[in-house]
Amino acid sequence: MGGGFYISKFVGVVGIVFGAGAVATVIALAVVYSQEVAKNEAVSPTNGGSTVKPPVTTPGGSTVVPQVTTPVIPTTAPSNEAWDKYRLPDTLKPEHYNLTLWPRLTVNAQGLYIFTGKSYVVFQCVKETDLILIHSNKLNYTKWGDDHLAKLSALGSTPVPTIKKSWLQPTTQFLVLELNGKLAVGESYQLDTVFVGELADDLGGFYRSVYLEEGEEKVVATTQMQPTDARKAFPCFDEPAMKAIFHITLLHPPTTVKCCIMILNKTSSYCPTSFDETKKMSTYLLAFIVSDYDYINSTSDNVLIRIYARKKAIADGQGEYALNKTGPILKFFEKYYNATYPLPKSDQIALPDFNAGAMENWGLITYRETALLYDPNMSSNSNKERIATIIAHELAHMWFGNLVTLRWWNDLWLNEGFASYVEYLGANEAEPDWNIKDLIVLGDVHRVFAVDALASSHPLSSKEEDIQKPEQISELFDAISYSKVRSSIFSTYLNTFAYDNTVYTDLWDHLQMAVNSTGTSLPTGQTVHSIMNRWVLQMGFPVVTINTATGMINQQHFLLDPATAGSVPPSDFSYVWIVPIRWMKTGLLQKQTWLEDKTVTGESWILANLNVSGYYRVNYDNANWERLLNVLSSHHESIPVINRAQLVDDAFNLARAKYINTTLALRTTKYLRREREYMPWESALDNLDFFYLMFDRSEVYGDMQAYLKYQVEPLFKHFENITRNWTDVPNGHTDQYNQVNAIRVACSTGMEECQTLTKGWYSQWMKDSAKNPIHPNLRTTVYCSAIAAGGAAEWEFGWTQFKAATIAIEADKLRFALACTKQPWLLNKYLEYTLDATKIRKQDATSTIVYIASNVVGQSLAWDFMRDRWSYIFTQYGGGSFSFSNLINGVTKRFSTEFELKQLKQFQADNSEVGFGSGTLAVSQSIERTTANIKWVAENKKSVQECKNSKP
């Protein structure tokens, strides 16, 4: 058992003063990075009109690629030279870049899309050195007269040393220049280069995206720099703290140039466009795009807002929703941060090929099409929610992340976690009727609890020296960074510590001041620092156990598989947290009290972690569990909706970790026949989903189906009634979600009435493909259900519609549903399609494989496919930051036999050479999960049978 448990007085005031406190947030957070804060004062270009003439033909001339011979010195045995390390030395500081890039939007004689570039960077020497290291990846350089890869000149009066040797170091991604003499401290120098790179379809650096427009193939040249791909577009000091000013010129087909994005017309000669110099900024936030797009625009408080997309998408009005919501969200954040938007314009652009969901490039945010484009006739309310939240997330980064930037990637959690928290506030402003803040519990708390309860989890904050290689950086973009911060720190603590001053030391100190000035009491001997460190520096979270018989309360590190406790790394805080608790007793809110108080005992029911404001699970003594079950089955409304969802989730997870038995967990779902709210249903379905994964290939399956079918019947009838036989749309946002759940579950558990309904809609659509009778909210579920029930004809129709879709959001619904067929041969064909970029875009490959694996029939097919093609998938699809871990976790999530565990370990061993890149942690997580599943299945089959046999 863990040690002390603390609750302070302030915990009763959770949920207060967000308005007042929030205004100070950015100031507080800025302080964390005080050394890194962008000065953003107007800096004139150090070397405005450059006189340097690069040895390369410039535009207007031929499109021939310069002849390039780049010496690459092979990496030999491990050495400790500066160029063998991944981090830049602290000798040089970039000030200003002048970059000209020329992407070719047609293939060259060798059949390649390429770009050429010339660039110079002015940097200051801050420590004496005779070595220049600058990042460069997959670029080839034209040699200068002296046979070197770059030209060095001095801007001051000190003479410039000559270059002794220059080469590329591919492993650490450096261009290396050894000098014959030292650079002088305080002096500025200029480094010129001329280079060529491939404009590949690899979704990283300067890359190409392709789409069809009226039968014609169109190429977009676009960028994705985060975290370490700016060096793939031009040589640069590619670390976030190396902020500089950029002056960028693009060469493109002549046209009207609109600020930061080019519009391409069909003539073939090229002309240059120079953009205003940027603010002082990090390389990972740069973006430049050449495209034949249209846009719509508006202004909000002098900020020009534009939405760019394919011409057809703009003509169809798909950008309107984003345009309408951006202004209000920007205004909200200006107020929230108490700082005006830092740029004169805000461009947002939808790209057909894009790795992540969206990227917060400063002033030019890039999105995949599904994350920005909305059409009321095609998009569901869930698509709309995604667009509103993702816009809010990326706009939040314009201040926190872009203006104030992390020093090194180990601080990524603060950047992404903070944006992930305030995205809900911004989206709530855009759509106040949705009560979207409540959904944090389902979207984040549950999501992160699942991984943070594994012994292979990790603390939020990593040591700077542990994060070096690009793949280690990519691996940081995980649920812990995104969701744990949102669930633990910001939701709980910013709400809890009231603060409103502007003292600059660091975030925790700042909060401490506020606590002091408001007289909020902390547990004896604790400070904000000591409380927060426990959440940031140790992994995992506690389960708090309340025993109403003895009055005892204690906490313990919650591990999904208690048998893994031995492999948990030691923690300086012994896995003890300081946990703020809000609670209620017999339906009455209890204020500002200590749970150790003797009032905990008694006959009445107790419910802790009210509205899930804390990042922990709660367990009770058996008698209190029985009282809570009793409340659920007699008057469930006395427990707040969020807590009904939480009780179910806690019970199921406590059962998995063997704190309570599985039968008790299953009994929390018995009252669902009376439940009409979305959150408890969704929580129960998420948890039962695990039972399905474990049992849908076993004899228990039939019992489970019968039980769930019985439970969902009244919900299905409820929606049939309130939608007047499926002709209306329910009013509430979450009611619309729950309607989808009702249909999904009723159909998948075999309710005939439901299946007839969905099959009927789909076949009506097949008869007249121009008239889709299915409401956008219901499409994913209806398509899936009809394709699952159907054969080749239904699948082929779905595939044709997928290829013909004019909005990505519709294509995505079909892409998901095509994985629902029960025909193995269709699933195998579909798997093959995933690695053919002309059929399934690269950005969608891994998620499509995961969809197929989620289907019980597709599971083993997808696993075989992934194992078989691993080295191809790894090299061709390796760039994505989220995609690899999602792929590995997704394909193995059903694993629950010794045989599967053996195969998984074999897979790990077989590919140790190729590696798993940003999916490395996912492989160990999968092994841990499978081991726990094996044990769980053996122990729990019986409970499921028993539950089914005892109808309430």
Residues of this chain that bind Zn ion (CB under 5 A): 416, 419
Shortest distance, position 922 Cβ to ligand BES, whole Å: 15
The Cα 372–Cα 391 span in angstroms is 8
Q: What is the 3-state secondary structure (H, E, C) of 141-208?
A: ECCCCCCCCCEEEECCCCCCCCEEEEEEECCCCEEEEEEEEEECCCCEEEEEEEEEEECCCCCCEEEE
Task: Please tell me whether residue 551 binds ligand BES under the rule CB under 6 A.
Answer: no
**The dihedral of CA 72, 73, 78, 79: what is its sign?**
negative
Report the residue number, 419 or 467, with the smaller CB distance to Zn ion: 419
Considering the complex, state which of residue 427 and residue 507 has its C-beta at the smaller distance from ligand BES.
Answer: 427
CA distance 88 to 206: 22
The residue among 196 and 406 lying less far from ligand BES, judged by its C-beta, is: 406
Nearest approach, Cβ of 416 to Zn ion (angstroms)? Answer: 5
Interface mask (CB under 6 A) for ligand BES, residues 397-416, using x and -?
x------------------x
Which position's Cβ is nearest ligand BES?
357
Whose Cβ is closer to ligand BES: residue 309's or residue 715's? Answer: 309
Q: By CB under 6 A, how many residues form the interface with ligand BES? A: 19
Helix (H, G, I), strand (E, B) or coil at 346: strand
Q: Tell me how long the chain is.
A: 952
DSSP notation for 460-490: SS--GGG--SHHHHHHTSSHIIIIIIIIIII
User: Nearest-CA neighbor of 362 among 287, 262, 303?
Assistant: 287
Residue 351 beta carbon to Zn ion: minimum distance, rounded to whole angstroms: 17
Measured from the Cβ of residue 552, the count of other Cβ atoms closer than 10 Å reads 15
Query: Contact between 431 and ligand BES (CB under 6 A)?
Result: no
Binders of ligand BES in range 605-644 (CB under 6 A) = none
Selection from Zn ion, ligand BES, none that 492 binds (CB < 5 to 8 A by kind) is none
Please select the residue that binds ligand BES; options are 202, 394, 649, 720, rule is CB under 6 A. Answer: 394
Interface pick for ligand BES out of 190, 687, 881, 885 (rule CB under 6 A): 881
Gyration radius from the chain CA atoms = 29
**Token pair 């591919």 in the structure block, residue:** 170
Distance (Å) of CA 776 to CA 384, 431, 755, 769, 900: 11, 19, 18, 15, 38
Site string for ligand BES, 209-228 (x = CB under 6 A): -----------------xx-
**Residue 477 binds which entry of Zn ion, ligand BES, none, CB below 5-8 Å type-dependent:** ligand BES
Site for ligand BES in 349-368 (CB under 6 A): 356-360
Site for ligand BES in 470-489 (CB under 6 A): 477, 482
CA dist., res. 579 & res. 577, Å (int): 6
Contacts of 301 (CB under 8 A, 6+ apart): 327, 330, 331, 334, 341
CB of 284 to ligand BES, least distance (A): 8
In the complex, least distance from residue 386 CB atom to ligand BES, rounded to whole angstroms? 8
Q: Which does 403 bind (CB under 5 to 8 A by kind): Zn ion, ligand BES, none?
A: none
Our CB check for Zn ion shows the closer of 226 and 846 to be 226
- 416 labelled as ligand-binding? yes
Given ligand BES, Zn ion, none, residue 12, with its beta carbon under 5 to 8 Å by kind, binds none
Q: How far is the CB of 486 from Zn ion (least distance, A)?
A: 11
- Angstrom distance (rounded) from CA 568 to CA 259: 53
Q: How far is the CB of 919 from ligand BES (least distance, A)?
A: 14
Q: Which stretch binds ligand BES (CB under 6 A): 393-401, 794-802, 883-891, 911-919?
A: 393-401
429 binding partner (options Zn ion, ligand BES, none; Cβ < 5 to 8 Å by kind): none
For helices 641-656 and 622-635, give the axis angle rounded to 10 degrees.
Answer: 140
Q: Whose Cβ is closer to ligand BES: residue 190's or residue 380's? A: 380
Which of 331, 329, 424 has the alpha carbon at shortest distance from 386? 424
Of 420, 548, 758, 925, the one binding ligand BES (CB under 6 A) is 420
Q: Torsions phi, psi of 274, nearest 5?
A: -100, 135
Which of Zn ion, ligand BES, none binds 444 (CB below 5-8 Å, type-dependent)?
none
Task: Out of 360, 394, 794, 900, pick the active-site residue.
Answer: 394
Closest distance of CB 633 from ligand BES, Å: 38
Nearer to ligand BES, 482 or 615 (CB): 482
Which of Zn ion, ligand BES, none does 735 bind, CB closer than 5 to 8 A by kind? none
* Residue 394 known to be catalytic: yes
Alpha helices (H) in 593-661, listed in sequence order: 622-635, 641-656
Closer CB to ligand BES, residue 394 or residue 561? 394
Closer residue to Zn ion (CB): 393 or 929? 393
Q: Kindly list the distances between the CA atom of residue 157 and the CA atoms of 180, 853, 890, in Å, as whole numbers in the listed order.
A: 18, 65, 60
As a whole number of angstroms, the distance between CA 373 and CA 69 comes to 44
Q: Tell me if 529 is assigned to a ligand binding site.
A: no
Structure tokens at 545: 């156990």
**Comparing C-alpha atoms, which of 915, 909, 901, 910 is closest to residue 873?**
915
Choose the contact partner of 712 out of ligand BES, Zn ion, none; CB within 5 to 8 A by kind: none
Enter the tokens of residue 869.
């093609």
Least distance to Zn ion from the beta carbon of 537, Å?
22
8 A C-beta contact, residue 304 and residue 345: yes
| Shortest Cβ 715–ligand BES spacing (Å) | 30
- Taking residues 758 to 787 in sequence order and writing x for each that binds ligand BES by CB under 6 A, - otherwise, the string is ------------------------------
Nearer to ligand BES, 389 or 548 (CB): 389
Would you count residue 393 as binding ligand BES (CB under 6 A)?
yes
Q: How far apart are CA 5 and CA 552, in angstroms?
A: 10
359 binds, among Zn ion, ligand BES, none (CB under 5 to 8 A by kind): ligand BES
In the complex with Zn ion, which residue's Cβ is closer, 474 or 777? 474
Q: Which does 624 bind (CB under 5 to 8 A by kind): ligand BES, Zn ion, none?
A: none
Give burial (CB, 10 Å; 0-12/13-18/19+) of 519. exposed
Give the span between the Cα atoms of 890 and 802, in whole angstroms: 23
Q: In what order do the strands lie in the sheet with 364-368?
A: 294-300, 303-309, 345-351, 364-368, 358-359
| 206 alpha carbon, distance to own chain's centre | 21
| CB of 207 closer than 8 Å to CB of 200 | yes
**Which regions of 499-642 does DSSP assign to beta strands (E)?**
542-546, 553-557, 583-585, 588-590, 606-608, 617-620
In the complex, the smallest distance separating the C-beta of residue 405 from ligand BES, rounded to whole angstroms, is 12
What is the enclosing helix (H) or strand (E) of 314? helix 311-315
For residue 941, count other CB atoms closer than 10 A to its CB: 17
Using CB distances below 5 to 8 A depending on partner kind, what does residue 783 bind out of ligand BES, Zn ion, none?
none
- 397 belongs to an annotated ligand binding site: yes
Q: Which residues are annotated as a binding site?
A: 393, 397, 416
Tell me which residues touch ligand BES (CB under 6 A).
226-227, 356-360, 389-390, 393-394, 397, 416, 419-420, 423, 477, 482, 881
Q: Which residues are annotated as a binding site for Zn(2+)?
A: 393, 397, 416
| Residue numbers annotated as active site | 394
